[in-house]
Amino acid sequence: MVGDGITDLEAVQVSGGADLFIGYGGVVARPAVAEQAEWYTCDYSSLVSALSCYKVAVIGSGAWACAATRMIAQNTVGQGETASEFADEVRIWARSQHEAINETGENPVHFPGISLGPNVRAVASVEEAVADADLLVFCMPHQYVQRVCKQLLGKVKPGAKAISLTKGMRVTREGPQLISQMVRRSLGIDCCVLMGANIAEDVGAEQVSEAVIGYSDLESGEVFAKLFERPYFRVSLLPDPMGAELCGTLKNIVALGAGMVDGLDLGPNSKAVIIRQGLKEMRGFAKALFPSAVRDDTFLESCGVGDLVATCIGGRNRRVAEEWTRAALSGSPRSWSDLETDLLKGQKLQGVSTSNEVQEVLAARKWEQRFPLFTTINRIVNGHLPPSSVLDYKEGSRAPLVEEEEPLVLPRRNGGVAHWLQPLAAVAAATGFGNWE
């Protein structure tokens, strides 16, 4: 309800009345109305543009979701009052941490010690988060996105735009499906991607970082670039959304290989072998899936070589794979899920399930030997080869897959029967990684 009289104020009723009263003082200015109205304006054009400014919802509240929310909130704070492009408030869907975020301003579990911003409001329900939002920022571990999309069917504002910060993919009966494709298909809205070398804690500490926004619709890409760009966060637009998203997804597999190299106590030369071959297979896989869409240059951007290097040096996939390798070599193997719980404290490991998903595609298309590093990492992850095989990836990709009970003949360099691989395979098989919710 918009009005200028005291009786107009009374139109707001809990049941059956107006939800909100906007006081208008452009013709007659009444002090009592100005005082009691939830929102008061004397200027019609600022009212119209304030009503039409973009409302933002972030779906997810993990480490990267919190760092992203913080950047967005820095860009939108105070904008609503000056009737600019974005509404001041940023809503974040936080399943279990909403009360803590609203009370303390930070997520004490996933992103402790970093304030998200005074204009951030956390909600417990994803439906409430997206209710009247124009810009939806999807940022959650990839295995949960499909379930959330199903929950949001019919709940998203028509004409809303989305962007996915999630790194991962799904394999359906029809073949691989990127997260942005899933959002686009299930919710019927445009979906860009933001990908880059973006370790959440470093972005939260405002260390200079860069990212690309992969877009199909330039107008959407430009809106999201304005939403994210900060002096410490450099955003460029890239007309190759699929290439960018596949880079972000596949580098998590390569980072597992880099962690294995660290667990084997090898140095930078050996890690460079993994990074170089990994980049080659990332490009090969992306171009094999989408030959006419994926561009070579994409792999030289922050989403490509940038993210690959950052994750192979400082990412969670690298860290967990290092510990997994050390445990395997010590003769007391630990499962991936056990290490995830222990080391990541509620954050999620994406590389193991992504490796299994990508391997499904490689097996279905008989591409295993075209992608020897991906294949070898997958066999190591599942306990069919020892971690030391990671650098012998050409041989590893040729090694026959064996049943868990059978003795395993190692690749030539190591020789002999891997007696310790049997418990390792059992531990790996018990991970449950690759299960979608």
Ligand X SMILES: O=C(CO)COP(=O)(O)O
Active site residues: 251
3-state secondary structure of 11: coil
Is 311 a binder of ligand X (CB under 6 A)?
A: yes
State how far the Cα of 59 lies from the Cα of 125, in Å rounded to an integer. Answer: 10
State how far the Cα of 207 lies from the Cα of 198, in Å rounded to an integer. Answer: 10
- Size of the residue set binding ligand NAI (CB under 6 A): 24
Is 302 a binder of ligand X (CB under 6 A)?
A: no
Is 101 a binder of ligand NAI (CB under 6 A)?
A: no
From the list ligand X, ligand NAI, none, partner contacted by residue 61 (C-beta under 5 to 8 A by kind): ligand NAI
**In the window 254-273, what residues touch ligand X (CB under 6 A)?**
255
Note whether 325 and 264 are within 8 A (CB). yes
- Quote the DSSP letter at residue 53: S
3-state secondary structure of 249: helix
Question: What's the half-sphere exposure (Cβ side, CA atoms, 13 Å) at 131?
Answer: 9
Question: What residue is closest to ligand NAI based on CB?
Answer: 62
Q: Which is nearer to ligand NAI, 50 or 212 (by Cβ)? A: 212
Stretch that binds ligand NAI, among 2-10, 18-26, 27-35, 344-352 (CB under 6 A): 344-352
Q: Which is nearer to ligand NAI, 148 or 408 (by Cβ)? A: 148
Is 168 a binder of ligand NAI (CB under 6 A)?
A: yes
Q: Which of 107, 350, 353, 382 binds ligand X (CB under 6 A)?
A: 350
Gyration radius of the chain over CA positions:
25
Distance of closest approach, residue 128 Cβ to ligand NAI, in angstroms: 15
State how far the Cα of 142 lies from the Cα of 164, in Å rounded to an integer. Answer: 10
From the list ligand X, ligand NAI, none, partner contacted by residue 235 (C-beta under 5 to 8 A by kind): none
Q: Which is nearer to ligand X, 198 or 397 (by Cβ)? A: 198
Burial class (CB in 10 A: 0-12, 13-18, 19+), 31: exposed
Distance of closest approach, residue 420 Cβ to ligand NAI, in angstroms: 30
Distance of closest approach, residue 211 Cβ to ligand X, in angstroms: 9
Distance of closest approach, residue 231 Cβ to ligand NAI, in angstroms: 20
Q: DSSP per residue over 269-317, as a string?
A: HHHHHHHHHHHHHHHHHHHHHSTTT--GGGGGSIIIIIHHHHHHHH-HH
Is 317 a binder of ligand X (CB under 6 A)?
A: yes
- Size of the residue set binding ligand X (CB under 6 A): 13
Q: Which of 80, 141, 176, 214 binds ligand NAI (CB under 6 A)?
A: 141
Note whether 180 and 290 are within 8 A (CB). no
Show the site string, 170-209: x = touches ligand X by CB under 6 A, - = not.
---------------------------xxx----------
HEC letters along 396-435:
HHHCCCCCCCCCCECCCCCCCECCCHHHHHHHHHCCCCCC
Is 92 a binder of ligand NAI (CB under 6 A)?
A: no
Is 354 a binder of ligand NAI (CB under 6 A)?
A: no
Is 60 a binder of ligand NAI (CB under 6 A)?
A: yes
From the list ligand NAI, ligand X, none, partner contacted by residue 166 (C-beta under 5 to 8 A by kind): ligand NAI
- Quote the DSSP letter at residue 212: E
HEC letters along 69-104:
HHHHHHHHCCCCCCCCCEEEEEEEECCCCHHHHHHH
State how far the Cα of 88 lies from the Cα of 312, in Å rounded to an integer. Answer: 37
Stretch that binds ligand X, among 145-153, 313-321, 374-382, 422-430 (CB under 6 A): 313-321
Distance of closest approach, residue 337 Cβ to ligand X, in angstroms: 15
Question: Which phi and psi (to 5°) does residue 380 adopt?
Answer: -70, -45
Is 62 a binder of ligand NAI (CB under 6 A)?
A: yes
Strand partners, 161: 135, 190
Strand partners, 39: 22
Is 355 a binder of ligand X (CB under 6 A)?
A: no
Q: DSSP per residue over 140-182, as a string?
A: S-GGGHHHHHHHHTTTSPTT-EEEE----EEEETTEEEEHHHH
Show the site string, 172-211: x = touches ligand NAI by CB under 6 A, - = not.
--------------------------xxx-----------
| Binding positions for ligand X, rule: CB under 6 A | 167, 197-199, 252, 255, 307, 310-311, 315-317, 350
| Binding positions for ligand NAI, rule: CB under 6 A | 60-65, 95, 110, 139-142, 144, 165-168, 198-200, 347-348, 350, 437
